[in-house]
Each structure stands twice: as C-alpha cells, then as structure tokens.
Structure 1
C-alpha cells in the first residue's frame, strides 16, 4: 500500500469529539452570581479541574461512536485494513473505560489522578486504534495539548510521559505491519527507529513549548482571577451597602440611588423603580430634587438649590462619608437632606451615592422645646441668664444699634416678704414683677431673670422714661394672694446717652442707677432691707 494511504487523513468522530472537548474545556466558567467564588487561586484551579473532568466524561462517551464511524469508513472503502469486529471492540473498549472514569470522577472529582486517568484512556484508545490499523499521528499530540487545560505541570508531564510511552509501544507493535507496506525500509526495527526518532524530537519540543505555555497561562489566569475576585468583592460590598440602605429605607421618607458610572437615578422607596438618567447639559439636579423645588420655603430656595447641585456634589463628598443640610417644606415642615457615599472609583471620587430625605419636624419641635427649657427661667417663664449671655455676646461682637438700651430691675422688699410671709409669697412677688416687666416691655425687647430678684431687659427704644413710668404704674395696681402690692427698682442706660460706652459699661451704668433707685425707695419707706422685720 502506498505511503500516503497508510496515514489516513480522515476526520472521524473521535477526533471531532476530542476537539470539541478542548473547545468546551477551555471555556471554564467562574462562579455565577449568588454562587460563592473560590476562596483563593488554588481552590479556583481545583474547581477548574473538576469542570474539565466533567467535560472529559462527555468526550469519552462521545468517543464510543468511534466504532460506528470507523465501520462507516470500512463500508465505503476508506479503511480497507480494518474489520467490523475491530470497530465493535473499539466501541466496547471505550465504553468500559468511559464508565470507569465516570465512576472515579464521582468519588474523586478533585484528584489529579482522575484527570491523568482520563488522558490515559485517550492514549489507550489511540493505541488500540493503531493496532487495528487506524493510525492518526496528530491525535497523539492532542492528548498532552488537552492536559494543558488543567493548568497543572504535574498532569501535563504525566500526560507527556504516558503519551510518549504509548507512542513507543504502538510504534513497536505496528512496526512490522507498516514496514511491510514500505519498500524503503529493510526491517521493522529500522522503521521503528525512524518513527521513534521523529516522535522523540517532537515530544521534546512539545515539553519545552508546553512549559512556556503553562507558565504564561498561570500568570495570566492568576491575574484574571485576582481581577475577578476584586470586582466580585467590590460588587458584593456595593450589594451589601445597597441592601443595608434598602433595609433602612423605612427610616427615610425618600431614598434615591445615584449611579454616576451609568449616570442613572433610581428610587429605593417608591414602587416605581424605573431608572431616570442624569444629564448635566442644561439640568444639574435630579428629577427627585426638581420635584421638591416647589415645596421649599422661598427664603431657603437658593441654599437648597446649591446643596443639591450635581455638578459640585462629588467634589463636596471627597474625603467625606456624607453631607447633610436641613430645610423647610412649606407643607410638612423641617426635613433633612443627606448625600451618603456608597462606592468610589480608583481615584477616590464617589460614583455611587445615596440621597435621602427625612422629615424632622417632630425632632425640631422637641429640640426647640429643649432649647426653650434650657433658656427659660422655670419660675417666671422669662428668658434666663444663659439666654442673656448668648444674646449680649452678639451685641459685643456686632456692635450696638442707635436705640439700644439696657434695663436693670430688682424687686424691693423680697427678703422681708420671704422672712415674714414665707417663700411662696416671695415667689409670688418675683412672678408679679416678671409679669409687669413682660407686659410693659412687650415687643420693645426681651426680659431676662438673671438672679433671685434681679431682672435685665434688652430694649430697642428712644424713650425709656415712658416705659419706666408704665412699669411703675402697673406695679402699683398689682395685688397678689399673699401680698397686696409690689415695688420694682429700675435703672436704664442707653447707647444714645453713652455712645462711647461698651455693652458691659452700659450694664454697669444701668445697675448703678437701679441701686440708686432702690436706696431711694428704702429711704422713703423707712425699711431696712438687711434686717428681719417683726410681725
């Protein structure tokens, strides 16, 4: 038989299935979403080995069709030296080996020896086919090529050794047959030596090339895995953050997710979860913010519009976890708007941001009540010393108005009343004095109780003399449960009178005038306020 007829250049089903197996195996997949990724690169290689072993199972089962494919070739005259019985034996032999590999894979799916066994089966199949006078030389080298998919030096070199050994054995067994077909060989030993020499050179080249391929593959696959792991971890962090914020959505009235990577806005609280796009061209606010615009108190509109400006938002969030501001909704009252950074890019610029809106009207009322309590005298419900210190500090800082006036007041005879009629009567006098001052001063200023029987008022008036007369008149008409009358000593000092005086100097002047008025009262009444009076 001619030499070109000995090497059957025929594509039969087994070769097709081995090639298909390579194609299937090379597309090993990383874990799908919601399936935990391998903890490390070594675990990734183990999962890859399991997957390829499964593909080899299918490949070996498809190789059972090798027998029928060869029988078809025999029928049409392609394989003239192959018998139908050999075709049957090949299919039975492959089926037994394939089933044994399935059994081993089931019990030892991660083992490297399971993979080596699959490659060994392919080599045995090639040996038996060659023995049956079906010889495809290139198929021998597909076995070590297939082993590269395991990304294992151990499996690869085992495959090379087994393949080389099987090639030697096959060549030795088939040498007499092929030597008889050739006129250029004196003996089968000469044919064997010639073929083995060429195969040895090819296997050495393949060992060197395979080593380089494996080393390069390991580097790139490891980099790919690390990249995937980083992306997966980042995605998991974002998912967890979004899930956490979604679970917290009940705390807020509205929660929107702003994604600057996809330039979209999505509500996490509304039933309508349709995404809207963020456009900076002619629109620098989200649709949610635009919808809120008509409900913002007019005096806060500029600050609200500035706070919610998308073009400056990410810059304002740099190096910050969140920013917030409080505004007034003309319908529902106070609310807090807040931007929270969820994820940043490699440059530290926020790319995923949560925008929340929370009604804080009740909190504001509680806060105002607490402030009022902290700044209010419990007995008289006037402002207290702390409130006065805060207010007067503003005047120290900003200066005085032309009509600025300080009024100092003190209840006359309080000690006598406490000593003779008890503290209930004394408290009544203090409340009475507070009422007189509060009613008469009204919108003219603010009244503070700064001590036991001491009061200060910050006034804005050009004529405090009439106010003093009004207070004195109301005090004369006052009567209580324990006492029938009340007397209040008053002293005033205005910025108009003393334009060069500071706030503290005006306070001292008004105090001095008040004490002068008090001394005059005690001289006129003949009372000594330092001594206890007899009943």
Structure 2
C-alpha cells in the first residue's frame, strides 16, 4: 500500500503548530517577570524614564494575554488563529514597552523570526507585516519624546524619518532572508517526507519478500546426501530423490555446488570452491561432527553451508555426509546490529571508546598514509552547564557537539565519543585546519532548547607535520593542541579555570 505523503506532511505541520504554540505560551509566561526585572532596574537607578506603573502594566498585560493564549491552546491547539494570537500578543507587548520608554530595538525583529517556526508562509507574512505596521506606529508615537531627549535631532519628524528609514531597510532584509529560510525549511521537510515514503515502501517490499521466503523454506534450503563408499550424491529435497554418481578422479564439486556457485558473491567464489571441494571434504571433516562456512548469495543474502558426518570409519574418516545450506541473512543482520551497538555510543550515535581503541590497535599495526590526521575535541563549559542548568542541558550540549562533529567529518573519517565531553576524530585530509574551522563554525550556528551557546576546543595532529611519529604520539600531540585551544578560549573570556 502506498503511503499518502500529503497526509503525513499535514500531520507533521499540525503537530508542529501545537508544539510551537506550547513553547510560545511558556515564553509569554516567562515575560511576566519582565515587569519586576525592570522595577529592579528602576530601583537601582538604571532606568530613569520608566515608572513602576509601567512595570505593573507590563506584567499584568502579558499575564492576561498568556491566560487567553493558554485557553486558546487548550481549545484549538493547532489552529492558525491560536498561532497568530501569540505573535500578535508579543507584538502589542512590544508596543506598550516602547511607548513606556523601554527600549527594545532588536526585539522588534524577534516576532517575525518566531513566526518561521510554524512552517507556514502566511503566518510569516502576517507576523512580518504586523510587526512593521506596529513598529511604524510606535516610532511615530514616541518620536516627540525621543527627539526631545536627544540633541542631534531638531524635530520629532526628523527623529521619526531617521529611525524608520533604518527600520525599513532592516525589515526588508529580514523579510527577504526569513522568506528564503522558510522556503528552504519547507522544501527540506518535504524532501525528508519523500525519502521517508521511499524508505517505508522499501521496508514493506523487503518484509513481503522475507515473508514469501519464510513460507517457502523449511529448516534447510538444500539437503544433499553424499556417500563416499558408493561415490554418489542425492538431494533429499527432490521428490524423486535420484542418486547421481561422483567421479572423484575428474570431479571437484557435486552437482548441487556446481549450481550454487553461480549465486555466490564474486569475491567469495574462490573461498566457496575451496570449502566445497569434494576431494578434500573427508580429510577436513576427519574426527569432526561438522564443518561450516558462511557465504553471500547475490539474491538472498548470507547462507550457511555445512558438512555433517553421518557415518565414519573407526579412525574417524567420514563415509556418509549430509551437505546442507540454510539462509542465515537475518541472523547475520542481528549479529551486525549487536556489533554495531557494542561499537556505538548510545547517546550520540557516534562510535564509542571501545571502537576507538580497537581502531587504534589496527593503526598501530599498519602503515599510515601521509594525509592521516587525528583530532582531539572537548566541549567547553559542560560542568558549568550541568551545575547551573541541569544534566538535561548538559546532555543536550553533548548531543549538539556530536552532531556538529559528525556533520563536519562526514565521510572523510570516523568520529568517536571517548569520554563524557571528549571526542576523537580520525580523518584522511590534506586540510585539517579547514576541518577544525568547519567544526567551530557549526558549533557557532548550534542553538539548543536549554542552552544557546556551544563551543568546543579542537586540536589535531597531522602525520605530514610530524613524520615518523607513532599513532600514540599523534594522540598526545592532538591532546596538547586541544588543551592549548581550551586555555586560549578561557583566557579570551576571562574565565579562571580550576586546576
């Protein structure tokens, strides 16, 4: 059955509006403390043109608007007018604050930015248009007061024209940028849903094939009885069960294996022919109950071939052998899945410390190419975030760091989480400094729910810069470079690190 992608996408937008409305309502409730915060500033002599009545008004207005929006959220959580009310409420709060001489120039552009979260161009058009209209009206109303407070303006109209010209240019730039960003986001989501549909259809197709195979197959796909006394073979799955002669002087493989070899993966054919060589089976199976090996069928995936001793001489040489093949593709996939889990960090989905140590052992035993580079990366300020914002914020920071690293590294190498906030990267690149900058730039663009900022100290050691050194020496050099970066980071921010 084909998936209706339009229905899935509409459901996504529906759920997205609900989630964004919930977060906006929390933001609105948070703004209730704006009034007391400004009052503290008045008390401290920071604000001179603002009254305590304004503080009370701000808190009361936003509390009322928050209650109304909460009621709308409960009754109509995904409706557009619930979204529009939240944006309108924030805009009118800005009008009130501006008219009360609370300067919030940058905040004017927050509402159109928030409207992008709804993934709806009409809501964005509304947010941008209302924002500009109210900005225009508020600037006009406050122009006499602001012009009187500033010596560089001779009249209110001069102040108004000066401010609105800047606001207009900024609004146009913001509107165009926001429209492009919103369009790209919608196209990206639609692409994701198209890919999701293809993946689901492929999974369903695979499930149907597996179900068909399971219904047709018994325990073994092929069962062949080989008699070395009479030199015959017979398929036990054939209804006739006809015996075929084996000429050991000229024949190296049974009829069954002559057929199966055509289905074996090309790079495993030699191995398959060696394992199924009829002339060596008795010696290899001597004193053994069975021997087995796994190969890949180009159509059905992994299968297991087994030779089982049925009857043997007193000195353990097989006389009668059963040869079986059985599809073990699902079993192999489970094994691969378990191996992948054991090598993967659960939180970040990067490779874990165990995988890093095993890979490092392989590098120690092999030759390294000239473009081999080892990166050492550490998240800055994780302990502070954990202590001040909680471990959920700390986990978010670690996941954000992992995402930035994974996106930067891509297919150039492997990224590992080797400790709490410690990461290692092994790449093959001629431009390690470019990769370091990519990681830092992506961390600058990252913003979380609990934490707005993510910075990482990134150090590296390139083999071409340190020819002849061991992999362990490169690791120490990369660590030293990372710690130097960390010291530089804290020094630039004036933060005293605890030793």
Please report the TM-score for the alignment, with normalisation by the length of structure 2. 0.55
Tell me the matched-pair count: 283
Structure 1 distance, partners of 2:379, 2:295, is: 44
Answer yes or no: is 1:261 the counterpart of 2:229: yes
Q: Does the alignment pair 1:522 with 2:490?
A: yes
- C-alpha displacement at 1:403, in angstroms? 1.5
Residues 319, 346 of structure 1: CA spacing in aligned structure 2 closer, same or farther, 3 A cutoff?
closer
Alignment of 1:438 with 2:409, yes or no, is no
Q: 2:360 aligns with which of 392, 405, 416?
A: 392
Distance 1:389 1:277 in 2: 54
Do the aligned partners of 1:447 and 1:455 also contact (CA within 8 Å) in 2?
A: yes
Write out aligned runs for 1:200-279 (5 A).
250-279=218-247
1:424 matched residue in structure 2? 392
Task: Give unmatched runs, 5+ long, in structure 1.
Answer: 1-248
User: What is the correspondence of 1:301-340 to structure 2 with a 5 Å cutoff?
Assistant: 301-340=269-308
1:386, CA displacement in angstroms? 0.4
Q: What's the counterpart of residue 375 of structure 1?
A: 343
SS at match of 1:437: helix
Alignment RMSD? 1.5
> What residue number does 2:268 align with?
300
Distance 2:310 2:406 in 1: 53
Q: In 1, distance between residues paired with 2:483 and 2:334? A: 40
**In structure 1, what is the equivalent of residue 88 of structure 2?**
none
Counterpart of 1:205 in structure 2 is: none
CA contact (8 A) 1:318 1:348 kept: yes
Shift of 1:498: 1.3
Match of 2:462 in 1: 494
For the residue of structure 2 that corresponds to 1:306, the secondary structure is helix
Question: Residues 416 and 529 of structure 1 are in contact (CA less than 8 Å); yes or no, is this contact kept in structure 2?
Answer: no
Alignment of 1:153-164 (within 5 A): none
Q: C-alpha deviations, 1:402-454, integer Å up to 9, x for none?
A: 21111000000111111111111111110111011101111110000000000
Asked if 1:284 corresponds to 2:252, the answer is: yes
Asked if 1:455 is matched to 2:440, the reply is: no
Question: SS at the partner of 2:322?
Answer: strand
SS in 2 for 1:383: coil
1:481 maps onto 2:424 in alignment? no
What are the Cα deviations for residues 258-293 of structure 1, in whole angstroms up to 9, with x where unaligned?
Answer: 000011111223323111111224321011111111
* Offset, 1:399: 2.7
Task: Report the equivalent of 2:164.
Answer: none
How many angstroms apart in 1 are the aligned matches of 2:250 and 2:494? 82
Question: Whole-Å Cα distance in 2 between the matches of residues 317 and 401 of structure 1?
Answer: 43
Deviation, 1:323, is 1.1
2:375 is aligned with 1:407: yes
Partner of 1:467: 435
Deviations 1:299-349 (A, max 9, x none): 111100111001111111122221111100011100111111121124432
| 3-state DSSP of counterpart to 1:311 | coil
Q: Which residue of structure 1 aligns with residue 103 of structure 2?
A: none
The 5-angstrom pairing of residues 143-162 of structure 1 reads: none
SS in 2 for 1:428: helix
1: CA distance, partners of 2:333 / 2:481: 40
Q: Does 1:506 align with 2:474?
A: yes
In 2, the alpha carbon distance for the partners of 1:272 and 1:519 equals 81
Q: 1:408·1:491 contact (CA, 8 Å) conserved in 2? A: yes
Structure 2 CA distance for aligned equivalents of residues 272 and 512 of structure 1 = 74
Q: Which runs of 5+ in 2 are unaligned?
A: 1-216
- Structure 2 matches for 1:117-132, cutoff 5 A? none
Q: What's the secondary structure of 1:406's corresponding residue? A: strand
Cα distance between partner residues in 2 of 1:326 and 1:353: 18
Which of 309, 312, 315 is the aligned partner of 1:344?
312
* 3-state SS, counterpart of residue 411 of structure 2: helix
Contact 1:450/1:456, CA 8 A, preserved across alignment: yes
**Runs (4+) off by over 4 Å:** none
Select 2:328's aligned residue among 360, 369, 376.
360
Instruction: Give the secondary structure class of the aligned counterpart of 1:316.
Output: helix
| Contact residue 449 and residue 455 of structure 1 kept, 8 A | yes
The CA distance in 2 between the partners of 1:316 and 1:334, in whole Å, is 23
Q: Deviations over 1:151-172 (max 9, x none)?
A: xxxxxxxxxxxxxxxxxxxxxx
SS of aligned partner of 2:348: coil
